[in-house]
Structure 1
């Protein structure tokens, strides 16, 4: 199978007025192949260590979808658990980079979130969304489960909401449902309102002393100190399941199917 889409897309960082704007894009619904996951983790680490950065804004562009998570074309050729682990550990690296980053990470969610995209939003410190930013965890209907991203979603939304998303993998939950469950801090009726709120918050956070932000963030992420090991173990579970016969059958059927 052609894998031309895997190496497409980009992650770009610009810094203005103490705000690091990290933007990602992929032609397949802003999905996250392994190369983009690595770039995203590296960009977050770099911005987190930069003296001229006080706050990070994470966003995607162009598509109506904020992030469709895993790129199916990267999963389909996988034959071994090692192949699967190399991919799923990429999500773990991004989540842990966001967790360890001493700067607050604000995420702008302009559209739907699927699978790993939900995990990405849950790993941010503050999510500002627009109506239509519905959510879905589709992993179970592909033959594995949202193991690697699960701890981040459960931490942000609670076990009940995470269970609902994980078990009914075919059902979209509304953006308002996601706000009520704690995934989104704010939900706006249009892009202008969302952008105004993003500008207000990032400007405010850019005035806060970095040491104060770092201490507060450390306190807010209390209890996650073991996530390097935990998420690696979760990645191993996903890697084992994604190469099983049932997952292979599901993925074969989905070769030409878009999940959003």
Structure 2
């Protein structure tokens, strides 16, 4: 079984950042920390003009938070630290001065939807259905909520957050504004992502940096907001309801 990783390749001023985990690309704390750090470093690298964010494998983009870690949380501080992992990735993406293109090859769940929503331009295959499953286990999509709501609007966000058992098709996600383009095959997606990134490299990096600031204006308080939200999830994961539910899932 392949080990979990975060890796980066830089070719022709395009940084491709890829994460992988053998459990359907679920994200434990150490991988989230590496991912946030890699995005931040790519943002500071003068040799990089555009970032592509992708995951390994061809089936699932991201299954969300690591279940094994979730089950083992026994105090509020540990809970807050765990849920801050996704907050740190989203904030790293928000603050990165370069455009981040999302390449979503398959289903994405929970925290993975938040990561997709925090990209600046997101391209997917028709297999990339989304689900916010947090309510299923007794918590809620608190940390990723602001990023998802920013793309889907309050109506779309509340719909998938409440209907926590259902996958919503890629076409639905496109209509709501999460995906910018949806492709029939993985090959078509990869070709389109590459071409799009190469085209962006022709533009003025200063202009792109200023545009990114404009697109994310109004989110300046997210360092505090997402930390607060991580605290809510951290408390809820300790509730009797959630503990019992997680035992059943185990």
State the TM bucket, normalised to the shorter chain. Answer: over 0.9
- Distance in 2, Cα, partners of 1:207 & 1:90: 34
- 1:165 equivalent in structure 2: 160
- Distance in 2, Cα, partners of 1:151 & 1:62: 28
**Does the aligned pair in 2 maintain the 1:104–1:125 contact within 8 Å?**
yes
**Does the aligned pair in 1 maintain the 2:113–2:132 contact within 8 Å?**
yes
Which consecutive unaligned segments of at least 5 residues does structure 2 have? none
1:180 to partner: Cα distance? 0.5
- Give the length in aligned residue pairs: 249
Deviations 1:140-194 (A, max 9, x none): 0100000000000000110000001100100111110011011100000112221
- Distance in 1, Cα, partners of 2:44 & 2:173: 31
From 27, 33, 44, the counterpart of 1:32: 27
- Distance in 1, Cα, partners of 2:96 & 2:159: 29
Deviations 1:213-258 (A, max 9, x none): 1000000111101101111111100001011111001111111xxx
1:61 to partner: Cα distance? 1.2
Q: Does 1:19 align with 2:14?
A: yes
- 2:199 equivalent in structure 1: 204
Which consecutive unaligned segments of at least 5 residues does structure 1 have? 256-260
**Does the aligned pair in 1 maintain the 2:43–2:97 contact within 8 Å?**
yes
Q: Does 1:72 align with 2:67?
A: yes
1:63 to partner: Cα distance? 4.6
TM-score normalised over the length of structure 1? 0.94
From 216, 219, 226, the counterpart of 1:221: 216
Deviations 1:56-77 (A, max 9, x none): 0000011511000011100101
- 1:188 equivalent in structure 2: 183
From 165, 170, 177, the counterpart of 2:172: 177
TM-score normalised over the length of structure 2? 0.98
Q: Does 1:115 align with 2:110?
A: yes
- 1:258 equivalent in structure 2: none
Query: Following superposition, which runs of at least 4 residues in structure 1 exceed 2 angstroms of deviation?
Result: none
Question: What is the 5 A alignment of 1:97-116?
Answer: 97-116=92-111
- Distance in 2, Cα, partners of 1:198 & 1:92: 25
**Does the aligned pair in 2 maintain the 1:11–1:39 contact within 8 Å?**
yes
SS in 2 for 1:158: helix
From 113, 116, 139, the counterpart of 2:134: 139
**Does the aligned pair in 1 maintain the 2:58–2:105 contact within 8 Å?**
no
**Does the aligned pair in 2 maintain the 1:29–1:63 contact within 8 Å?**
no
